[in-house]
Structures are given as structure tokens and as C-alpha cells.
Amino acid sequence: KVYPRGHHRMAAWKKSKSHNLSQFMYLPDLCEIHNPFETGEELMQQWSEYWNMTQHYLIQKTPFMDVEFLERVKIVPTFHAIVMRHPLVFSKFFASHGLNDPVDYLLIWLDSWAHTLRLLSTGNVEMYAVVTYESLVRYHDSISNELTAMIQGSSMSNSRTPKFDNYRHRRLDLHEGNNPSKYLEPNKATIRLWKKCLQKVICNSLLQEINQHIFPQIGYYLEDNIEP
């Protein structure tokens, strides 16, 4: 497969003995691509079996941060809708690979987003939008309409209108039921992760720094004096 899945990434990261925990989030970005067009054609062929190829807009959802790789190998106009989520939301994927330390969560979040935002600042990504998961849940219709307008105003535009809800398994929110806001409530595993972070000096200190200098730029907010 051209595009590595989670367990393949983690295996490659562990084999590299890298001390940078977050690299498995964007490993393809670090690869040298000898023939981007050929790689893009192969990737399109592998993904096409999951798509309805009669549609004008093809939506691919991935939990990783491979914007640079996907931009380099694209063979059709590509719009990247990049969703940011709070760094201390419990992840079954991380936990299944032994990453249970909340400091790891914060460092992975910081580095993977630093990597992605640096890339976007270079101007090498033609079409993209960054939204927070929380705003996508709260204002789903408004943000979906805004993304639609961005796509229609880009080089992908034509007379057809993109429909994000045509296929249930490709909806942007991926939520069940009529009350998606319930997904904003932290589950027990997330609460345990937060408490664990607040009780560790290094984690608490790092979270305070993020809260003071980074969260205000994104729209996240925590109480000024975070205590366990």
C-alpha cells in the first residue's frame, strides 16, 4: 500500500528508534518521492475501490497529518480540510500502542501541529482550511457551508455542488444520533487523562504554557489557574 496505516506507521517509527513521538503522525511527509505522479496514480487506484467514482467530489478521511505528502502526489485538484482537536482527548490508538502518558499526548499534539502549520505557512499547499473539531460539532452546518463556498471558489469549482452528507460513512462529523454536542463532553478515559496530567509537575507546567501562549490563538480556553 502507498499510504501506510496506523499500525504500519507505529512499527516503522519504533524501528527507526526516533525520540520524536509525533513523527508517526506525518511519516509520509518525511519520505523521498522519486516520481510523485506515479505514486499519486497508484494511491488513486488503491483508494478508488472505496469511492463512488461517478461523483465529482471524492472525500478521503484520515486521522493523520500527511498534508505535504498528499499535496505532493495529488493528480487531481485537492482541498485539505484539516481538523484540530484538543490535545488531551483520550485516544484508543495511542493507548493501544502504550502511549498512556499525558505528556506524550501534549508533545505529539504540539509537534504534529507545528509541522503542519509550518508547512501551510510556506504557501506550498494550494487549497486548505483548518477548523477545530469542537466548532465543527457545534456549528456543523455553518462550517460545512463555508467549506463548500471555499471549494466552489477554488480551481475545483464547477456547476455541481459538493454534498458532504451523501454517504453516511463519509460525513464530516461521523456522529450517531440527533445530538452530536454530546461528543464535546469528555468521557471517563479523557477525564482520567486530564487528572493524571494535572498531578504531574512536568505535564501540568507544559499545559499551563500551552494554555497561556497557544490556546488563545486557536479558540481553546482553560481556567487561569489549573489545579488537580
**Model confidence at 169: pLDDT above 50:** no
Q: How far is CA 180 from the centre of its chain?
A: 19
Q: How many angstroms separate the CA atoms of 91 and 89, rounded?
A: 6
Mean pLDDT of all residues in 171-195 = 74
Mean pLDDT of all residues in 72-84 = 91
Question: Please, are residues 165 and 171 in contact by the beta-carbon 8 Å criterion?
Answer: yes
Angle between helices 102-121 and 188-198 (to 10 degrees): 90
The C-alpha cell that represents 127 in the structure block? 487549497
List of residues 6+ apart from 51 with CB closer than 8 A: 58, 60
**Model confidence at 161: pLDDT above 80:** no
Average pLDDT, the chain: 81
Whole-model pTM over 0.85? no
Mean pLDDT of all residues in 43-58 = 85
* Predicted pLDDT of residue 68: 93
Q: Is 24 exposed, middle or buried (0-12, 13-18, 19+ CB in 10 A)?
A: buried
Question: Please, are residues 155 and 201 in contact by the beta-carbon 8 Å criterion?
Answer: no
* Range of weakest confidence among 61-65, 129-133, 221-225: 221-225
Mean pLDDT of all residues in 40-66 = 86
DSSP 8-class letter at 41 = H
**Model confidence at 2: pLDDT above 90:** no
Mean pLDDT of all residues in 18-47 = 86
CA distances from 88 to 94, 217, 219 (A): 12, 17, 15
130 beta partners: 82
* Predicted pLDDT of residue 82: 92
Mean pLDDT of all residues in 176-184 = 70
pLDDT-based confidence at residue 102 (cuts at 50, 70, 90): very high
The C-alpha cell that represents 218 in the structure block? 486557536
List of E strands, 3-91: 80-84
**How many other CB atoms sit within 10 Å of the CB of residue 29?**
19
Q: How far is CA 175 from the centre of its chain?
A: 16
Q: How many angstroms separate the CA atoms of 113 and 45, rounded?
A: 29
* Predicted pLDDT of residue 165: 40
Of residues 91, 117, 115, the one with CA closest to residue 104:
91
**How many other CB atoms sit within 10 Å of the CB of residue 74?**
16
For 107-147, write each residue's pLDDT tens digit. 999 999 999 999 999 999 999 999 998 888 888 889 988 98
* Predicted pLDDT of residue 202: 94
CA distances from 106 to 22, 23, 176, 190, 210 (A): 10, 14, 28, 13, 9
Mean pLDDT of all residues in 58-62 = 83
